[in-house]
A and B are shown apart, each in its own frame.
Chain A
Amino acid sequence: MTEIPEHLRKRAEEARKKAEAAAGGGDAAADAPAASSDAPAGDSEAASKIPAHLLERSKAAKAAKSSTEVATAGTATAVAAAPAVAAAPVATGPGGHTQRLLTVVKSGSIQDVKSVPQDKVHVWPHLLVAEFVAAGVITAFTLIFSIFVNAPLLELANFNETPNPSKAPWYFLGLQELLTMFHPMVAGVTIPGMGLILLVLAPYIDKNPSNKPEDRKFAISLMTIHLMCWAVLVIIGSFFRGPGFNFVFPWEAGLFFEL
């Protein structure tokens, strides 16, 4: 049995006496523990919101317990009285508990949880390995491609001999293609200028906060249409334009394209 400090034992004794007085007092010594445990239950019965059937059940259980104790006390008084007296100071609460729950503090009230923990991995090796492999693959590809395909070097630049057709680098062939449809200022400045400005402003125009494809069908369709248009223009300018920048089929007239 654990040691109980003197002041706690006194306090428990006083509480027990008070409870006995409230219950009517004058009971036999053997009945004391049953009465002391009964009284607080009777108090809380009125105050708490414990369902009636549960209260009935606990009362029945306590009654059964005290009746067996009385029976044992009748057969061997000395033996039964000893543990009852020893148990008396311990019975501070309804269940005979010696500790009390003071309060429950939820974690959020003392620890400020700012962000949910994220599933993270070490950059080495998880990211660096992927980067090394990608760099190696692209180097190998460039090297092998360069061994087999030579960069073009045509004749020395000659101002008096204009090649037919004259083409810009491939990434500008979309613009050159636009030149066949619009005034040079529109094709060469206005359209690409507007395109660039819209591209820069895209994050400020698009107010939709979601990045899920199903939420941004309009933005994705718009971008796809523009990219497709651009790709088609570049492909036509690259492969379908022959002498005089006239429309030709590459499988009939041949390729007029240098990288």
Chain B
Amino acid sequence: MTATKEPLGQKVQKQVSDLVDKTQGSQAWNSIFRPGSIFRKGYTDSPRNRSYVIMNSVLYHLHPVKVKRHAVKVSYTLCLGGLSFFLFILLTVTGIFLMFFYTPSAAAAWEDIYSLQTAVTFGLLVRNMHRWAAHLMVLSVFLHMARVFYHGAYKAPREFNWVIGVMLLQFTLLLSFTGYLLPWDQLALWAVTVGTNMMGYTPVFGEQVRFVLLGGVEIGTTTLLRWYVLHVLMLPFVTVIFMAIHFWRVRKDGGISGPL
């Protein structure tokens, strides 16, 4: 019995490996995976392939091929900048999911969130993730700023990148704050009332600032639409542009700072 099975097993194994070889050797496969991809035939861990992994990937080529040895120490950066960026991506993904179920009008917003939580598969989970990731992002951006300050990383030649970073901190706060109104519950309404009342005290043109932000003298449907567009489109758009400049400048200014 075993005598008949073993050759069969070997035969199957050989056919599978032949198939893999054929697939990996095909034109289609090689057109999809560029040199340096681990899915390529005969990938080996060589300095050349290590460079190709970074250079030939649209996702990874934000990085240089090589970095200073101290720059990869987790104890130096605490991953805070990277985590802020990753949380932004996580928020984009979960946010797109939420957009499918949300109407930015005072009459429908709360009902939409409620039915998202009760009637949509994974609706509650994704909303929870969006909310907690948003709070985490505010925290991580803030801590990233503190880390950069304590390492003196804002000094020449990185002064301007620090300025960009402070702008990004503000965009993060604004993104979080505009999102706060969208569930249209008591928490949202009154938190935003407190916040926008404060902005109304801007000297000289405080009333106008408040009017533009609220789309009226009081919070209402126009405010909701306004903040929705700010939250899902305008602020992310501006933030992405500033992030691009921020990351690009990190490389142009000679990689991350340090060692101390």
Closest B residue by C-beta to A138: B83
Q: Are B132 and A142 in contact (CB under 8 A)?
A: yes
Report the stretch among A5-13, A71-79, A150-158 that lies at the interface.
A150-158
Interface residues on B, range: 35 or more
Closest B residue by C-beta to A176: B194
Q: Are B166 and A185 in contact (CB under 8 A)?
A: no
Interface residues of B in 178-193 (CB under 8 A from A): 180, 183-191, 193
Q: Is B30 an interface residue (CB 8 A)?
A: no
Q: Are A124 and B54 in contact (CB under 8 A)?
A: yes
What's the minimum C-beta distance from A219 to chain B, rounded to whole angstroms?
8
Partner of B257, one of A122, A147, A159, A211: A211
Interface residues of A in 98-122 (CB under 8 A from B): 118-122
* B residues less than 8 Å from A125 (CB atoms): 50
Report the stretch among A24-32, A34-42, A161-169, A247-255 that lies at the interface.
A161-169
> What's the Cα separation between A163 and B189 when bound, in Å?
10
Partner of A130, one of B64, B79, B113, B203: B79
Report the stretch among B13-21, B155-163, B238-246 that lies at the interface.
B155-163
0/1 string, B81-94, CB within 8 A of A gives 1: 01100110010000
Q: Is A225 an interface residue (CB 8 A)?
A: no
For the A-B complex, the count of residue pairs with Cβ-Cβ distances under 8 Å equals 205
* A residues less than 8 Å from B156 (CB atoms): 203, 209
* B residues less than 8 Å from A208 (CB atoms): 155
Given contacts A127-B71, A171-B173, A189-B203, A134 and B159 within 8 Å (CB-CB):
no
0/1 string, B55-91, CB within 8 A of A gives 1: 0000010011111110110100001001100110010
Q: Are A169 and B117 in contact (CB under 8 A)?
A: no
0/1 string, A211-222, CB within 8 A of B gives 1: 111001001100
What's the minimum C-beta distance from A216 to chain B, rounded to whole angstroms?
6
Closest A residue by C-beta to B257: A211
Q: Are B129 and A146 in contact (CB under 8 A)?
A: yes
Q: Are B72 and A157 in contact (CB under 8 A)?
A: no
* A residues less than 8 Å from B146 (CB atoms): 223, 227
Q: Are A138 and B186 in contact (CB under 8 A)?
A: no
Q: Are A138 and B87 in contact (CB under 8 A)?
A: yes
Interface residues of A in 76-94 (CB under 8 A from B): none
Q: Are B201 and A171 in contact (CB under 8 A)?
A: no
Interface residues of A in 181-216 (CB under 8 A from B): 184-185, 187-189, 196, 199-200, 202-204, 206, 208-213, 216
Given contacts A184-B201, A211-B257, A157 and B110 within 8 Å (CB-CB):
yes
Closest B residue by C-beta to A186: B201
What's the minimum C-beta distance from B46 to chain A, rounded to whole angstroms?
10
> What's the Cα separation between A177 and B146 when bound, in Å?
22
Closest A residue by C-beta to B181: A157
> What's the Cα separation between A158 and B193 when bound, in Å?
12
* A residues less than 8 Å from B130 (CB atoms): 151
Q: Is A232 an interface residue (CB 8 A)?
A: no
What's the minimum C-beta distance from B134 to chain A, rounded to whole angstroms?
10
> What's the Cα separation between A131 and B83 when bound, in Å?
8
What's the minimum C-beta distance from A175 to chain B, rounded to whole angstroms?
6
Report the stretch among B3-11, B120-128, B228-236 that lies at the interface.
B120-128
What's the minimum C-beta distance from A169 to chain B, rounded to whole angstroms?
5
What's the minimum C-beta distance from B40 to chain A, rounded to whole angstroms?
14
Q: Is A49 an interface residue (CB 8 A)?
A: no
> What's the Cα separation between A138 and B91 when bound, in Å?
12
Given contacts A146-B132, A153-B113, A211-B260, A123 and B186 within 8 Å (CB-CB):
no
Q: Is A149 an interface residue (CB 8 A)?
A: yes
Q: Is B106 an interface residue (CB 8 A)?
A: yes
Q: Is A143 an interface residue (CB 8 A)?
A: yes
Given contacts A134-B86, A202-B154, A123 and B66 within 8 Å (CB-CB):
yes
Q: Are B69 and A121 in contact (CB under 8 A)?
A: yes
Closest A residue by C-beta to B113: A153
Given contacts A138-B83, A146-B132, A220 and B150 within 8 Å (CB-CB):
yes
Give B contacts to A, CB under 8 Å: 47, 50-51, 53-54, 60, 63-69, 71-72, 74, 79, 82-83, 86-87, 90, 106, 110, 113-114, 117, 124-125, 127-133, 135-136, 138, 142, 146, 149-156, 158-159, 162-163, 166, 170, 173, 176-177, 180, 183-191, 193-195, 197-199, 201-203, 206, 218, 257-258, 260
Kindly list the 8 A-B residue pairs having the minimum CB-CB distance in the complex, ordered from nearest: A211-B152, A188-B198, A146-B128, A203-B159, A151-B131, A157-B189, A166-B190, A120-B66
Known: A157-B189, A167-B191, A184-B197. 11 other contacts (CB 8 A): A120-B69, A127-B71, A131-B79, A135-B82, A146-B132, A153-B117, A166-B190, A171-B173, A188-B199, A188-B201, A189-B203
